[in-house]
Each structure stands twice: as structure tokens, then as C-alpha cells.
Amino acid sequence: MNNKLLGLLALILFVIIGNGLLWLAIQSDNAVSALLSFAAGLSMIFLPCTLPLVFVIVPLAAKEENPARGLGVAIAFSLGLAATLAVYGIVTAFLGGYFGLDEFTRTMFVVAGAAALLFGLTELGLLRVPLPVFTHNIPAWVNQGYGKSFLLGLFLGNAGIGCPNPAFYVLLTYIASTGSAATGAWLGLVHGLGRAAPLIFLVLLTLLGMNPVRSHARAKGASPEDSGAATSNGVKSVQWISKVSGKVHLWTGFGLVFAGAFIITIGLLGMHWWEDSIFHAAWNQFMYNVHPNFAEQPGHPVREGIFEAGAAAGWWSLIIFILIPMVWYKISHGIKSAGFWIIGALLLVLGVLASSGLIEVERGHGEAEGNHVESGHQ
């Protein structure tokens, strides 16, 4: 796959994303349609709960030497993500509302987080998960990596379920009111494809930057000078790819570890620790200032976890789930880089700040804030 085709695909997606976001920004009535579902999915890339997916799929696709395979990995991930949103649409239709998803999503968050952590550890070479004895019966597309990417999308599609923007709320309410599993599946699938579009766009930009210069030295009409230059460029490209491939594997592994730690903490301890933090509040306020439809719904109910715990416990859970693989990787690979110590120290400082309440804001995006906002308008 050459750069021209990658560039054309990126341009098409850019136009679709730009027009979709513009359409969502000028909407006032938010009448439910497939277009609203897709546009709402596009806008989810700006939410602090879904943005981390970028740090998973981009390195995952970039580590493929063949750009076509890299794009295939991104598409497989996107289909898995869309499938998860379709399932949520069906569950919403059956349970009759967003609040009925609580028990379902708690379990899904824990399973999804654990799966992402497992994938991350295998990517870092810390764990080896042997395939079943019937490996020869597994379809080729699974062994080629597309199946793994699809499963990752299936699990990580849970990210952002607890951080809906206004259009997503309208969508869920409508699905619940219809009680139709088919409508829920269709609108959920379209919404998932909307969420996937910006991720694929970023993957295309990455592949454009990493696509190696291929030698056409032996093509008809090529001069010796052209042949030498093309060969030199090709060798340099291969050397550069080899040089960064190790780092890409590292980024992919720790991206999965971070996403898994984040999602499993939400499943276990809820979202108050994150939603009530200065990081979440500052970013969401920024996006709200850009346009309210691109931010989370003010006053939305904050998801509870399986266990009740304070904000500090949530942050320490996240930190521990990240630190353990870091230390494990450092010991098993004999890494002497000071960067690991710096990142570890920053994580510990974050934990101390969380325990001191210094990163917690007065109100997050929970029901208390919603009541406060409503009372302020009365």
C-alpha cells in the first residue's frame, strides 16, 4: 500500500470527521438518527475516558512492517469496538435505560481491564499465554494478529461508556424508549464506527510517516544513479524501522497496561476518583468551552464500582496496576534507564497528592453537581 492511497484514505476520513463534528456542533434539537449516532461517536475522541485508546491502537498498528497490515489491525480493532457498542445498545433496549446498565458494565469493565492488562503483559514479553493444542484449527486471520486486535477492540470498547456526552445520552434514552434490540444494535454499531473513525485517521497519519521508501532500482528505465539513491533510501528506511520497532512494542505494551489499569479500576472502585479529579475537570471544562456537545453531560450520574472506596483508593489502584508491570519489566529485562525511575517517582507523587486531597475538586460531574446546577437556575 503506497503513500498516495494512504493519503487519500486519510483525506476522506478527515472530511467525514470534520463535517460530522461541524454538524453535531450546530445541532439544537438532537433528533435521533443514524447521523446523530455517528457524529456523537466522532466527538467521543475528545473525552478524557476515551482519549487513551489512541495510545493503544496507534502503536499497535505502527509496529506492523506492512502498512496494509497496520491498517488492517486498526480496522479489526474498530470492528471490535463497534461490536461492543452494538451489544450495549441491545442491553440498553432490554433493560430500559442507562441506569439499568450498572451491573452489566461493572462486570464488563473488570473483564475488559483484566484482558487489556493480560495483552499488555504478553506484548512486553512478561507473560506467555500458550495457544490450545488445537492451534492448527484456529483461522489464519487470528494467527496473523487481526483476531487479537479485534478482541482488544471488543474489550476496550467499554472505555467511555461511563463518560457520555449529551448526544450519547439522547441516543441511549431513545434506544431505551423503543425497547427494540434491533434498533439498539444498529444505533450502537453506527456509534461505535463513529468512535473508530478518528482512531483510524490517526493510524493512517502514523503509517504515512512510517511507510518505508521502497526501492524501484530495477524498474525499467531507472538509471544507475536513481538505482543507487533508491537503494540507499530503502536501506535507511529499513534501519529506521528496525531501530524504532522495539520502542513501538514498548509503547504498545504499556499503552495496554495503562488502559487496562484505568478500566479495571473503574470496574472495581467506580469513577468518582477520576471524575472528581482536577485532570478530568480541567479537560472537560476546556472541551465544554469549545462546544458543549463535545464535553461530558453536566450532572451525569457517576458510575459506582463493585466496591465502595474513596478517591485516594482509586488513584492508588491505578498506580499499583501500572507500577507492578513497570518494575517487573525493569527487572526481567535489566533496564537501567533513569526514565523508569522518574516515571515511577511521578506515579508515587501522584498517589501522595491524591491521598492529601490536593488533586480533588469540590464537585465533579456527578449527581451533586447536577443538582447544584439545576438549583442555580431556579
Q: What per-residue confidence (pLDDT) applies to 375?
A: 32
Please answer whether residues 29 and 178 qualify as being in contact, where contact means their C-beta atoms are separated by less than 8 angstroms.
no
Q: Where are the domains of the chain?
A: 3-211+237-377
Question: Rounded to two decimals, what is the model's pTM?
Answer: 0.74
**Residue 360: strand pairing partners:** 277
Please answer whether residues 266 and 258 qualify as being in contact, where contact means their C-beta atoms are separated by less than 8 angstroms.
no
CA 210-214-217 angle, to 5 degrees, is 160
Q: What per-residue confidence (pLDDT) applies to 27?
A: 75
Q: What is the CA radius of gyration of the chain?
A: 22
Who contacts 93 (Cβ-Cβ below 8 Å, separation ≥6)?
A: 175, 176, 178, 179, 180, 181, 183, 184
Q: What per-residue confidence (pLDDT) applies to 300?
A: 66
Q: What per-residue confidence (pLDDT) applies to 219?
A: 41
10 Å CB burial of residue 334 (0-12, 13-18, 19+) is exposed
Per-residue pLDDT of the chain (378 residues; tens, 9 = 90+): 678 888 899 999 999 999 998 888 887 666 788 898 999 889 888 877 777 788 788 888 888 878 888 899 999 999 999 999 998 888 888 876 554 556 667 777 888 888 889 888 988 888 876 544 444 454 555 555 788 889 888 888 877 666 667 777 778 778 888 888 899 999 999 999 999 999 999 999 888 876 543 333 334 444 555 545 544 544 444 444 445 555 777 888 888 899 889 989 988 998 889 888 998 888 888 888 888 878 876 666 677 788 888 889 999 999 999 999 999 998 888 877 788 889 999 999 999 999 999 998 865 554 444 333 333 333
Phi/psi for 360 (5° steps) reads: -95, 130
Q: What per-residue confidence (pLDDT) applies to 234?
A: 43
In terms of DSSP H, where are the helices of the chain? 3-26, 34-43, 54-62, 67-95, 102-123, 140-143, 146-156, 166-178, 181-210, 224-269, 272-275, 278-290, 311-333, 338-355, 367-377
